[in-house]
A and B are shown apart, each in its own frame.
Chain A
Amino acid sequence: MKRIGLALVVLMLALSACVPAATPTPERIVETRVVERTVEKTVEVTKVIPTLTVIGPWAGAEMDQFLPVLKAAEEKLGVKIQYRIYRAEDLSQVLPPQFEAKQAPGDVIFMWEWWVRENKDHAVDLTDLWQKEANQFVLQPTTVDGRVYAVPYVLWVKPGFWYKKSFFQKHNLQPPTTWEEFLALLDKISAIPGIKKAIITGDGVGWPVGDIVEHFLITFGGPELQQNLIAGKVRFTDPQVRSIFAERLVPLLGKYFSDPVEWTQAIDLWWNEEYGLFFMGNWLTGMVKDPNDLGVFTLPGARGVVGGTDWAFIPKYSENVEAAKQLIAFMISKEGMEVRAKQGGKLASRKDISPDVYPPADRALAEALAKVEQPTVPDLDDAVGGDWQRLFWDQMKLLWVRPQALDSVLRQLDAKFPTK
């Protein structure tokens, strides 16, 4: 008898765990409506406040910069918003089976542009939403057959090599204006006592290493070379591409670049002046103790820098499509964009945002980028996408520690490049 009772309790517990999560508790609101001129009636109305889930790649300091936007949206739109962190490379595996099951883990999701394009059948059409703001943006939305499926949010750029102004002042260093000055700077930094290597190489899954490579390709081959590589019109074994690797990048690898180190760890090591330079995106301004001490320079002669955005889309299977549309509309509005710009770490993708809105470090970056011919060259691996992106990152990590493998690395990149 005891055993039967125990079994029943266990069964009930197990069944209770299968019960779906509670839906948002309706909030009872009392409204007074004038039904007739002389009669007022008090009516109780049940209003459900939707809870939206926003999924983005930002964690730590970057997340802290994004949350004020969601808070402002909650106040403006009268919704509740919860934020979840998911890297795009993980979402690219999680989303397909969920979409097949007509489910979505979030209402607004930030993903790669190429991925949204390939999965447009699962995305809500945002053409009407975009058309109201189209003229204000420096970037184009994700469109397929003239319909918009994802909109650009704030801009990130990978402007070049960051340094601490105080470190440069202490050691009487200057940002370089020519390639020879760049090499001389690396030598000077390497000779400073306590410095392990002139440049610390951030790593993770491999994208920071890929970013450095792309900066070299754009500087010495121009933005058009990057575009041609993305389109598959130029191969990696092309003599021009190979010479950029062989003559500009590879000779620096063992001598001036550190081994790949987890990039968040690299920030600390570089800030502690164990290394002199650090190549990273502009979100770095929100991740250091004193952003006003930051300086950045592109490789001399660079006519463009990689810049892009995170693309926001709404899955068709969201239970709050209309509320999600309102949220996106707010985020890309002037008001919403200003809230984000004030936090630093990203630049507005709208043209009508005044530089005065930014914190000082980001303002200086925005002004410097105004002088660059093309501040939004597409990111190579993000644009090509698929499994080739992972391969590119992996091969660049290999090249960093085994520069003599250059030719086999370039052949691998060509061999696995997706055929269109």
Chain B
Amino acid sequence: MRLHRVRWERIRRWGAFLAFTAPALALISLLIVLPAMQTVALSFTDKRGAFVGLRNFIEVLSDSDTLNLTGFPPGPPPWGSLVHNAVWILLHLPLTVGLGLILAVLLERARGATFLKSVIFLGMVTPMIVGGVIIRFLFDENAGVVTAIMRAVGLTALGRSWTAYPETALPALILGSVWLWAGFSMILYSAGLATIPRDYYEAAAVDGAGPLQQFWYITVPSLRPVTMVIVAMTILWELKIFDIVYTATLGGPGGATMVLALQMYFYAFRALEFPRAAAVATMLSLFTLIVGLWFVRTLRSSE
């Protein structure tokens, strides 16, 4: 009788769980899981639907638009979309994380902090399409603020349109995207800073620790969970970067700013090579899956 009651209780709980999650699960399955599986399947076929194994992946990786290591480094781009995405992560991630942390710390108790944080956060609420157009004009020879500053300080070589030259097009997009994304890390770090007990700092001060030591030995370790979230979210965003590049440079000049998501788009909607586009999509999904798994593992181990 008791066993019967326990079993019934378990069924009732699972039933309630399924009843509430079934609609969402059905939608996710229909709109995300099923198309994703179809895309993966498409990446192993040719245009007529015949199975071709890894041929699409080999063709994509052999394409100089994906990987072009002649002259890399120190030659300028194009290096291929895979490398461009990697460079984006290598430059953008530390800049965004570091800048966000510094801004959060500086504005923690500053006057007008709320207003300043709102202004900095504007980059996050600006549509990325608009962000791309802004970046194009920020680095424009005639209209750009950045190029005007470069000329004013005597760096005339950087006073020309950055997005017109392969050497400076990718850095322009990356720096512009730091401006757009820094607000995100700043806001998360600000929230994280508020959770650190003040006692730690007071105790450290009593022990003679200076501000830098307090920052390094208290603030940074305490913000580790927040840092992990920011790193994971930023890498995922960098992997699927598309709109900024599309509006600012369209992947040029000469493919110098081509990224995986844009390349997938051109394969699908310009070249009408859907299996190749599916191959790029599958590779991108694999990279994001790796990042996601790393994040979950690190989160679990820290708990």
Using CB atoms and an 8 Å cutoff, list the residues of chain A in contact with chain B.
92-93, 96, 203, 205-206, 259-262, 265, 269, 386-387, 389-390, 393-395, 397-398, 400-402, 405, 409
Contact = CB atoms under 8 A, between A and B. Distances in A.
A397 B254 contact: yes
B113 interface: no
Nearest to B270: A387
B200 interface: no
Contact of B142 (A269, A393, A401, A409): A269
Interface string B256-278: 10000000011101111000000
A200 to B, nearest CB: 10
Nearest to B254: A398
Interface residues of B, number: 24
A205 B166 CA distance: 15
Contacts of A398: 166, 252-254, 256
A265 B252 contact: no
A207 B164 CA distance: 14
B251 interface: yes
A266 to B, nearest CB: 9
B164 A260 contact: yes
Interface in B12-62: none
Interface in B226-282: 250-256, 265-267, 269-272
B271 A206 contact: no
A262 B254 CA distance: 17
A275 B128 CA distance: 33
Contact of A206 (B160, B252, B269): B252
A405 B265 CA distance: 26
Given A205-B250, A262-B140, A390 B270 contact: yes
A387 B164 contact: no
B209 interface: no
B266 A394 contact: no
Contact of A390 (B143, B266, B272): B266
B85 interface: no
Nearest to A405: B254
Contacts of B271: 386-387
A402 B141 contact: no
Contact of B253 (A261, A389, A401): A401
A275 B140 CA distance: 17
Contact of B166 (A93, A203, A401): A401
A96 B269 contact: yes
A259 B161 contact: yes
B270 A394 contact: no
B165 to A, nearest CB: 5
A261 B162 CA distance: 11
